[in-house]
Structure 1
């Protein structure tokens, strides 16, 4: 897409360059014509031609300065204006149609470029002055009625200025569309990174917490000869959890994030009881949609992970009714256990996940001194 935008810019700029080059040839041709007809002297014609070519030579540089932004008036803009005024001053007295065209075109070519540098009110004022002076010059030298001359001059000034402004607006539209696509692509990448980080935390946080707990328990049991069998079982569980964690990383990488709610409830019960916390589960999940079951499974997993990592709970209750989950534990150790307080991002990521699905999420200490996690999903 970047290549297409640059190509569009080159086409527009070169198109304007070609138009200015054609105008320069027309100017030179008209100067030669009035010189051959004897309407102006050869020195005047040469000087006027130099001024006209100078204006046309500066215009491409001025256009490039003002093509991407609206800069402040520059020395080049002033120099082009003086050359245009010099060309008009050197050509009178001329009463032919070609002379009238010279007056209009060279002054309005400069005006069409000047409007790219000026604010609307300044451009209108400058245009009014240029039209008034050009009209006065034509009327004084050709003795034509001022009303039709003014109308022609005003129409010419407006058309050329608006055409140049629209030319730049076309490029700005193309550029903004390109920038919008680039921003959208960058946002998609950032969102995918956030999703992956959140999923990785959700997938591994629970498993690694249990692994840590079981490893500590196995280390303690290994110091007692009578508990060697239990220590071996705990280490076998550690190995199994490590294998599951590796599989979950692969799931996250593949982008498939489906959890089974019933399996998650069984796993949470086993993990909490192994940690010494009694777990009571009252779950009615039969009528839930697959998407609702998956969201509640994530909530159950994250809630259990926070119980294992951040509390000293001896009892935890899990209730699911009509798409609403409530987890309570009696192991509150700090006033607030949200991710911001603990430095983690699990509960915050869970809240974002539920909000995106049209659900709701709250977590914090309850009035009875318990930590309460509530998640509601569209049933």
Structure 2
């Protein structure tokens, strides 16, 4: 399954491809119309169409490179600049299109260059291009230089801004996803470190004492059997106490707090773009039942994030009954995952019940019941 940044990238790229295709059709229509009216010869028309297609294709390629953070595409920028000059130059010589619309093709190249060239160079290129086109339009058409200047100035601002926003939007989505992934990895690392510290604190002293007493017992075995037996009894006692402490620590890690889990699930789902509503009435439940429901909430939220494109999720806890309902299920589940199977087994051992099934309305309902 594609990640959310990959999906966002595909949407943005297809949006870009579609926009360029529509623009190509728009400009091509003017070129063909000019040729049909006798204002351009077929060879000129063909050359203009080829140049136009090249400008739009290289714009897409350069913008796609910007999405992937590749090195400066100097060759593509240079070829695109030559094609842009050819398209605008052929229009200037043959005048296949009247008015100032066609010259705005030059700003497509300026927009692609905005992603790589320094700001001062873009400002200089934009100023020179705008001034030159405004002077040309005012001398070859009925438009005043003020009107031409405003038209081209608007293109000089909108095209680079739109292109920059395209890339900025993608990079923002990608960085947000990377940030969430980094936070998750950091949380796991911190938990491992905490568990390692706890094990060291629990077992470090006990194991050191056990080692010393074992060595002492080995030395006393041939000299003082009674004292050696006493020391070994102490070793057994320390080992049993250490085992109990480890079990308590592990059980503590296995237990979950229901309120904290609900808050964490809400934050995770809303960060993923799903509106989460929670109604919980579980204050009277005993701690084991609350822990079981907390595990069900965690597994249910994991299922929502991994296997659906949910936009809303509701969590209801009434006594010992939990129900999680989410949308975004577009196909029947291929089978119950290992997480849900494990949760069902845990519920059954505790005397509860568990079910997780999709509905014909495109929702997925997880229901768990524990002894109150």
Interval of TM-score (by shorter of Structure 1 and Structure 2): 0.5 to 0.7
Task: Name the CA shift for 1:250/1:158 in 2 (closer, same or farther; >3 Å).
Answer: same
State which structure, 1 or 2, has the greater radius of gyration over its C-alpha atoms.
1
Structure 2 counterpart of 1:240, from 197, 220, 237: 237
Once residues 2 and 182 of structure 1 are traced to their aligned partners in structure 2, the CA distance between those partners, rounded to angstroms, is 15
Q: Residue in 2 aligned with 1:108?
A: 107
Deviations 1:192-239 (A, max 9, x none): 121121111111111111112222332233222xx4333212101111
SS of equivalent residue, structure 1 residue 117? coil
Once residues 183 and 240 of structure 1 are traced to their aligned partners in structure 2, the CA distance between those partners, rounded to angstroms, is 44
Deviations 1:58-97 (A, max 9, x none): 2211111122327425111111111111111111367797
> Root-mean-square deviation (CA), in Å?
2.2
- Gaps spanning 5+ residues in structure 1: where? 258-379
Is 1:84 aligned with 2:84?
Answer: yes
Is 1:8 aligned with 2:5?
Answer: no
Q: Offset of 1:249 from its aligned partner?
A: 2.9
Task: Name the CA shift for 1:65/1:245 in 2 (closer, same or farther; >3 Å).
Answer: same
Q: How many residues align?
A: 254
- Gaps spanning 5+ residues in structure 2: where? 255-372
Once residues 93 and 137 of structure 2 are traced to their aligned partners in structure 1, the CA distance between those partners, rounded to angstroms, is 9
Q: Residue in 1 aligned with 2:356?
A: none
State the TM-score, normalizing by the size of structure 1: 0.62
Q: Offset of 1:143 from its aligned partner?
A: 4.6
Once residues 228 and 56 of structure 1 are traced to their aligned partners in structure 2, the CA distance between those partners, rounded to angstroms, is 93
Once residues 217 and 128 of structure 1 are traced to their aligned partners in structure 2, the CA distance between those partners, rounded to angstroms, is 89
Is 1:213 aligned with 2:215?
Answer: no
Q: Residue in 1 aligned with 2:30?
A: 30
State the TM-score, normalizing by the size of structure 2: 0.64
Contact 1:111 1:127 in 2 (8 A): yes
Q: Residue in 2 aligned with 1:202?
A: 201
Deviations 1:313-352 (A, max 9, x none): xxxxxxxxxxxxxxxxxxxxxxxxxxxxxxxxxxxxxxxx
Deviations 1:277-331 (A, max 9, x none): xxxxxxxxxxxxxxxxxxxxxxxxxxxxxxxxxxxxxxxxxxxxxxxxxxxxxxx
Q: Residue in 2 aligned with 1:377?
A: none
Once residues 150 and 94 of structure 2 are traced to their aligned partners in structure 1, the CA distance between those partners, rounded to angstroms, is 20
Contact 1:94 1:100 in 2 (8 A): no
Once residues 256 and 237 of structure 1 are traced to their aligned partners in structure 2, the CA distance between those partners, rounded to angstroms, is 29
Once residues 96 and 149 of structure 1 are traced to their aligned partners in structure 2, the CA distance between those partners, rounded to angstroms, is 18
Deviations 1:123-167 (A, max 9, x none): 211211221222222223215321111111001110111011011
Contact 1:55 1:80 in 2 (8 A): yes
Mapping 1:57-76, distance limit 5 Å? 57-69=57-69, 71-76=71-76
